[in-house]
Amino acid sequence: MQPQRRRDYFKACKSAAQTALVCLALPLMAACSTTAGTTQTIPSENYNGRVSVLVIHHTSANFEDSVNILTKPSSNSVSSHYLVPDPSDTSYKKDTLEVYELVPESERAWHAGRSYWNGKSALNDDSIGIEVVNQTYCVKADAPSAESSSALNVRSAKRFCFYPDFPESQIEILVPLIDGILKRHPRITPTQIVGHSDIAPDRKIDPGPRFPWHRLYKLGYGAWFDDDVAIKYWNRFLADPVPITNVQMALSAYGYKIEKTGVLDTQTRNVIQAFQLHFRPSEITGEPSTETVAILYALIEKYRANELDDLLSYEQAP
């Protein structure tokens, strides 16, 4: 090949090679640009929100101590998402009541501890916690008494508790707080609004018998029974008492953690007391009275109707 033609040939090959490299690089450059600059979204229907339970507590401490307990690290650190002050508390220095957010709702607060409700354990993972300042206190017995082995709840027999009222202004700021939480977390259905005693009946009594569950229900928040339905079951059970096994099954169906043992043991008394704290505060005995069981079945009919037939299936007493 002549020198000039050889030079033209290699020049043409070099140009073709450069063109090929550019062509190969263009898709890679475009891909890098897309990855770095934008995020594509394909909405999935296969998910749900983290929060499905709202747990209400009382602090048993004043506002200042509650803030320290709920925000400072300790050997047994605890927290909640919200803290609601008490206007009569001298440690609260502001003229008007305000709700305090301590943990964002998107994060996991440490308020429930060892807990269970409606098939789920360790409820810190699934719940929002509200601490309401209410200086309930209990006095422990100096020595064991004859009551501790009687039909009364064993825990109740060992302590004497005092429950202050919840002030009106406190409830007035609590209600819009609950309303906002429910709007942000629609998985919290009426039966998923509970007290600490509901989810830990063996060790907790808060928010106590003076918390206005019925009033909240009338405002549209939480669960409650219908009087006429409870009366229906009361009359039925006066004539045909419910076996303790079925009472245990009904408590479990509603959401409580309870084993079906067929006897009125300590765990059953604790759960019945927690139920009474919520739905029958005039009768906190841990006893499955006809009134308590009638209320339980009225709630089952209203909120767990698919369980009702099985829970009403038992042999009549001779």
Active-site positions? Answer: 131
Question: Running DSSP on this structure, what letter comes out for residue 288?
Answer: -
> What is the sign of the dihedral through the CA atoms of 258, 262, 268 and 271?
positive
CA distance from start to end of the chain:
120
How far apart CA 254 and CA 257 sit, in angstroms, is 9
Backbone angles phi, psi at 35, to 5 degrees: -65, -40
Output the CA–CA distances (angstroms, integers) from residue 65 to 69, 92, 129, 171, 307, in the order listed. 6, 10, 18, 21, 44
Give the whole-angstrom CA distance, residue 86 versus residue 257. Answer: 32
C-alpha distances (whole Å) from 125 to each of 25, 67, 114 are 48, 22, 11
**CA proximity to 202, closest of 133, 156, 238:** 156
Q: What is the CA 177 to chain-centroid distance, rounded?
A: 15
Dig out the tokens for 12 from the structure: 């043409």
Q: 75: buried, middle or exposed (CB in 10 Å: 19+, 13-18, 0-12)? A: exposed
Question: CB-based contacts of 133: which residues, under 8 Å, 6+ apart?
Answer: 58, 59, 61, 62, 63, 66, 83, 84, 85, 86, 89, 92, 170
